[in-house]
Amino acid sequence: MRKARALSTDQRSWPLIAVLAVTGACASFMFTLVMPIQAQLPQLMDAPREATAWVVTITLLTSAIATPISGRLGDLFGKRRIILILLMTLILGNILAAVSTSLPLLLVGRAMQGLMSGVIPLGIAVMRDQLPAKRVGGAVALISASFGFGSALGLPISALIAETMDWHALFWIASGLGLALLGLIAWIVPKDRAFVSGGFDYLGALGLSAGLSGLLIAIAQGNAWGWTSPLTLGFGVGGILVLIAWGAFELRLAHPVVDLRVAARPTILMTNLASVALGFAFFSSAILFPQILELPTSTGVGLGMSLLAMGLILAPAGLVQIAMAPVAARMNNTVGGRVTLVTSAIIISLSYVLALLAATEIWQVMLANAFIGAGIGIGFASMPMLIMGAVDATETGAANGLNSLMRSLGTGSSAAVMGAILAASSSGGSAPTVGGFQLGFSVALGAAVVAGILALCIPKPRPVQAVAVDLSGHSSLAAKKA
C-alpha cells in the first residue's frame, strides 16, 4: 500500500513540474513578445518614439511590483488561487492588446501582462509544498531556468509571427497560450494546505509600488530624459525616499507585505544582493549581443543579421539553461547553493572574458552567449534553494518574490547602463563603436565578479532537501548538514 501511494505521488510530480515550468516560461515570453515590432510601434500607434518606449517599460515596471506582492498574497490566500488570477489577468491583458488601435489601450494590456511574472516565485513555492523532498531541487532548477528559456525561444517565435502575420496576432496567440495554461493549472496543481496568518498590508503594498515605480522609471527613462534632468532626479530620489519611509513603516507591522526582518537574515540578504549583480550580468548580454548581430557590417562592428536570424542564433542559450537544470540540482544537493552560485558567477565571468577577446564572428557570439546561459541556468537555480533553506514553508512565496524583485532590479539597471554606454560611444547618430561594446563587456564582467564575491559571503545554508512539509503545513528539518 505504501509503495503504491509513493508511486502515485511520484507519477503526479512530473505533470506538476512541467505545467509550472511552462507557466514560468510563458511569463518571461511576455518580455520578448513585442521586440520584433518595437521599432515599428511609432508608425503603428501613430505616437512619438518616446511614448511607445513605454510598451516595454510598463511591463518591466508591473513585473517588478507584482513579484513580492503576489508572493505575499499566495502565502495568505493560496498560491494556486493567485496563479489562476494572474493567468486570467494575462489573458485579459493580451485580449486588450490584441484589439488595441491606440497606445493607451496597448499600454494597459502590456501592464497586465507584466503581472504574470508573479507566477515564478509562486510556482517555486508550490513545488516546495507539493513535491517529494527528492524532487524539489530539480524542479526548482527547471522553473528557474524556464525564465531564460522563455525569453530566448520567445524572440524567434515572436519574430516569425510578426513577419508572417498581422502584429495583433502576437497577442491573440499569447492569450490562447494563457487560456491553455489556465486550464492545466486548475486541473493539475493541488489546492494549498498551509496558509500564513495575518491580513494583507494594503498600505505597504501601495508604498512599495510607489517607491519601486519612481526608482524604476528613473532607471528606464534615464537615457531618454538625461541622467541629471529634473524628471530623472525627481522620480529616482522620490522613489528612494518613498522606499525608505515604506521600510520604516513595514518594520512596525506584525504582518507586512515584505518582512524586512526576514530579508535581513544574512543568507537572504547576501543572496538577494548577489541576485542584483547576477541579474545585471545576465541582461547585459541581452543588450549587447543582439546589437552586435543586427548592426550592419558597414559599421565595422555589426554582423548584419535579421531579427529572426538573430533570435535563432541566441536561442540555444535558452536550451542550455534548461539542460543545466539537472546539473544545478545535483550541485545544490552535493556542494550546496553557495558553491553553486559562485560557480555560476565564474562561468559568466569567463564568458565575458571570451566576449572581450573575440566577438566578431557568429559562432563566437553564439558560444559566449551559450556559456552565459549555462551560468545563469546554474545561478538562478541556486538562489531559490538558498532562500528556501533560510525561511519557513509559509514564508516561501514572499521570500522568493523578493528575490525575483532583486533580479529585476539588476536586469533593469543593466538595460539602462548598457544603453548609456552604447549611446555614449555613438557620435552624431552613428552606430556604437567597438570600444563601446568592449566597455559594456567589461562592466558586465565586473558585475559577475561582484556576484561571485557576494556569494562567497553567504553563510552555509540549511539543506533544502532535508525540509519537509506535513499535511498540517508545518515544516520540519532533518538534523544533517550540507
Q: Is residue 184 part of a domain?
A: yes
**Cβ-Cβ contacts under 8 Å for 148 (sequence gap 6 or more):** 28, 282, 317, 318, 321, 373, 376, 377, 380
Give the pLDDT confidence score for residue 349 in this predicted structure: 97
Q: How far apart are CA 129 and CA 136, in angstroms?
A: 9
For the chain, 482 residues long, give each residue's pLDDT as a single digit of tens: 444 444 455 566 889 999 999 999 999 888 888 888 887 888 888 888 878 888 888 988 898 888 889 988 998 899 999 999 999 999 999 999 999 989 999 999 999 999 999 998 899 889 888 888 788 888 888 888 777 777 777 778 888 888 888 889 999 999 999 999 999 999 999 988 777 777 889 999 999 999 999 998 898 888 888 889 999 999 999 999 999 999 999 999 988 888 888 889 999 999 999 999 999 999 899 889 988 998 888 888 889 998 888 888 988 888 898 888 889 889 988 999 999 999 999 999 999 999 999 989 999 999 999 999 999 989 988 998 899 888 887 777 778 888 888 988 888 788 888 888 888 887 656 788 899 999 999 999 999 999 999 999 999 755 544 444 343 334 443 433 33
Give the pLDDT confidence score for residue 11 in this predicted structure: 60
Q: Is residue 482 part of a domain?
A: no
Residues 342 and 236 in one domain: no
Residues 267 and 248 in one domain: no
Residues 246 and 175 in one domain: no
Q: Which of 209, 238, 256 is the last residue of a domain?
A: 256
Q: Is residue 196 part of a domain?
A: no
Q: Is residue 207 part of a domain?
A: yes
Q: How far apart are CA 6 and CA 12, in angstroms?
A: 10
Residues 150 and 225 in one domain: no
Q: Detail the DSSP E strand segments found in 381-470.
A: 467-469
Sequence length of the chain is: 482
Residues 251 and 268 in one domain: no
Q: How far apart are CA 367 and CA 254, in angstroms?
A: 50
Q: Is residue 210 part of a domain?
A: yes
Residues 416 and 286 in one domain: yes
Residues 234 and 86 in one domain: no
Give the pLDDT confidence score for residue 479 in this predicted structure: 38
Q: Which of 256, 272, 298 is the last residue of a domain?
A: 256
Residues 323 and 333 in one domain: yes
CA dihedral 82, 84, 85, 91 (to 10 degrees): 150
Q: Which run of H or E residues covers position 111?
A: helix 103-114
Residues 36 and 114 in one domain: yes
The cell for 206 is 501601495
Residues 271 and 213 in one domain: no
Q: How far apart are CA 431 and CA 41, in angstroms?
A: 21
Q: Which of 256, 285, 303 is the last residue of a domain?
A: 256
The amino acid present at 355, given as its one-letter code, is A
Residues 274 and 220 in one domain: no
Residues 136 and 284 in one domain: yes
Q: What total number of domains does the chain contain? A: 2
Chain Cα centroid distance, residue 154: 14
Q: How far apart are CA 73 and CA 116, in angstroms?
A: 14
Q: Is residue 173 part of a domain?
A: yes
Domain span at residue 334 reads: 2-189+257-477
Looking up residue 22, the CATH number of its domain turns out to be 1.20.1250.20
Q: Is residue 195 part of a domain?
A: no
C-alpha separations of 450 from 70, 272, 344, 371 in Å: 29, 13, 12, 18
Q: Is residue 321 part of a domain?
A: yes
C-alpha separations of 478 from 335, 364, 395, 481 in Å: 18, 47, 19, 9
Nearest to 336 by CA among 196, 165, 159, 459: 459
User: Can you spell out the DSSP letters for 69-92?
Assistant: HHHHHHHHH-HHHHHHHHHHHHHH
